[in-house]
A and B are shown apart, each in its own frame.
Chain A
């Protein structure tokens, strides 16, 4: 995945990898380290919590926990790679795109996801995908990372609430 990002955007200065809270943040950190070792150039990291931009926020309560957002002061002219663990309906990415628009005008935004499980409800596709899996709508896909969960892994489980 790091190689693909370098192929797509390695020539752009000011590359910014933004992880979507929470698992996306860890994945972005790892990808950024890999890209740095390949290109020898520093890669900026950011974090984004899209909770306040969710399109279902009016309807849900109790309220979801809001995580930390850390972005450079301006996004004008930058190339951003959004990093998330699972791409499903596309609504999270829609929210992230709206949130970026309130921070400035990036030159280009790419999307890298570890797992694309299908089931899109919006016209959004990833530029870089680690794993493609057709998962039934009711099933869950959970990504674990060592930093938060003690181990790395992708698990598909039947039933349960949607992510």
Chain B
């Protein structure tokens, strides 16, 4: 038996090393399912999963949808635009109405940090966080861990530098927690305006220049620079950012060892990462996407044990 994950997956911060390892180990056999002639197993037959996306997403939503379909679950996609959300319905009301139609799981992407936990505390269905504000994006963190483990055979002792807009990044947070739980050394690299204050208190090494990160690390996880950061004055210009912090093949050529470069996508080619790096031999960006489906299958499989108890009172009714 694998260590239980509980009802929900909200983030990696409060998971144990054993739980994270169980998810990664469970993802291994699911990789093979996607290579079968019929890419489908009946593990979640009869389960109904709602993908509740309040924020734009292509990769994550499609990856979850493939994971759900390859486990034979029935899925419904709800986007915020064009649904009753745009009429002002609250998150909990939306979810409770969906639950009244007897669903089993909710995958939620929301612009507010804490939205997934808020929902999980108030409904009976399993909740999987597909990204909440600046808080966490646990399945992205897990697929990054799986990709690193594939490449290096281990996570323990690995030096991973997370580069770019760490301040606003839920991907960075999930990576930091996951890597620290599994015994990796974590570095962060970016302009001081985009690094959280006191981040060193987490036990993370601050690398002021991208050249420092390249010297120090075994792997770089290059974050997407959101273009609105420039408008908000966090960086002077995209060109300036690329000149100082861009991951370029010239800079990688000076690395003391062969680096592995990850990127959660979508990429801004020529800003945080150059095209010849993204498409080059160091890049594991497409294996990350492939692993994303396997990791999400593992999470859904591990959470879906048993059925919600419809006779029990709904949690969190008192504050309605």
Contact = CB atoms under 8 A, between A and B. Distances in A.
Interface of A: 49, 51-53, 57-70, 73-74, 98-99, 102-104
A60 to B, nearest CB: 6
B307 interface: yes
B interface secondary structure, majority: loop
Given A62-B1, A62-B3, A57 B29 contact: no
A102 B307 CA distance: 26
A64 B33 CA distance: 17
Interface of B: 1-4, 25-26, 28-30, 32-33, 36-38, 40-43, 45-47, 71, 301-302, 304-307
B181 to A, nearest CB: 20
Contacts of B37: 73-74, 102-104
Nearest to A69: B32
Contact of A102 (B30, B36, B43, B46): B36
Q: 5 shortest A-B CB distances, which residue pairs?
A: A61-B305, A52-B41, A52-B43, A62-B4, A102-B38
A101 B305 CA distance: 25
B306 A68 contact: no
Contacts of A70: 32
Given A49-B29, A65-B26, A102-B38, A58 B307 contact: yes
16 contacts: A52-B33, A52-B42, A53-B42, A57-B42, A58-B47, A59-B307, A60-B305, A61-B4, A62-B2, A62-B3, A63-B26, A68-B32, A69-B29, A73-B37, A102-B36, A102-B38
A64 B30 CA distance: 14
A16 to B, nearest CB: 15
Given A61-B305, A102-B38, A66 B46 contact: no
A59 B29 contact: no
B305 A65 contact: no
A99 B33 CA distance: 11
Contacts of A59: 306-307
Nearest to A101: B38
